[in-house]
Amino acid sequence: MTEEFDALVTNGTWSLVPRPPRAHVVSGKWIFKHKFHSDGNLARYKARWVVRGYSQQQGIDFDETFSPVVKPATIRIILSLAVSRSWPIQLDVKNAFLHGTLDEEVYCQQPPGFVDARCPDYVCRLHKSLYGLKQAPRAWYERFALFAHRLGFVASKSDVSLFIYRRGTDLAYLLLYVDDIVLTASTDQLLRYLTQQL
């Protein structure tokens, strides 16, 4: 829980503010999971602070929710291409959704166990997405797509969740599936460079 809370604070996910009059405050809860190694042994305990997005009110604390999702056929094609050419593949981004910037004014309760003793009645005014928010996938996609374009990726015309990077003879493909990323590149050096930039 401490690791998750620290990641949220470090990321600037919210500011503690006095509860505005008549503000809709979204509640949340801690979700706990066990993560296992491939051999079945326990790798670690995982905690995630998740808000109850089902209590959000359209027009008040969310507007747009749509986020494109990569097509299954695109995933199969890119993975087949990477395997057939022995390209390295990189997966996963830690706390991806937490990087989506919010346009709407959204408030949530302070996470139980981490309520600020100096301001126990304050609420969190969200600047970035949290898991469970209705607009989290859209906010993450918009922020990611903008950054990918700055790096030199171009969105595919047939699937906007497929980003293509070309530099000379080097080539990379990046698939964005909600908060998961598959990145493959024609060389280890290009994969390392793009992973470091991302």
Question: Residue by residue, what is the 3-state secondary structure of 22-55?
Answer: CCCEECEEEEEEEEECCCCCEEEEEEEEEECHHH
Model pLDDT for residues 136-182, shown as the tens digit of each residue: 778 888 888 899 999 999 999 989 899 999 999 999 999 988 777 88
pLDDT (average), residues 67-90: 86
Among the listed ranges 9-18, 45-54, 92-101, 121-130, which one has the minimum average pLDDT value?
Answer: 92-101
Could you tell me which residue, 6 or 98, shows the higher pLDDT? Answer: 6
Reported as a pLDDT band with limits 50, 70 and 90, residue 55 is: low
Domain definitions of the chain by residue range: 2-197
Long-range contacts of 1-10 (CB under 8 A, 24+ apart): 1/30, 1/47, 1/111, 1/113, 1/114, 3/47, 4/47, 4/48, 4/49, 5/49, 5/111, 5/114, 7/94, 7/95, 7/98, 8/49, 8/98, 8/111, 8/130
Q: How confident is the prediction for the chain on average, in pLDDT?
A: 87
Q: Over 60: is that where the pLDDT of 90 sits?
A: yes
**Residue 43: both structure tokens together:** 């790798």
Could you tell me which residue, 149 or 53, shows the higher pLDDT? Answer: 149
Q: Over 60: is that where the pLDDT of 61 sits?
A: no
Reported as a pLDDT band with limits 50, 70 and 90, residue 60 is: low
Tell me the residue type at 43: A
- 108 close to 124: Cβ distance less than 8 angstroms: yes
- 155 close to 166: Cβ distance less than 8 angstroms: no
- 121 backbone dihedrals φ, ψ, rounded to 5°: -95, 0
Reported as a pLDDT band with limits 50, 70 and 90, residue 67 is: low
Confidence at residue 137, expressed as pLDDT on a 0 to 100 scale: 79
Distance of alpha carbon 61 from alpha carbon 55, whole angstroms: 10
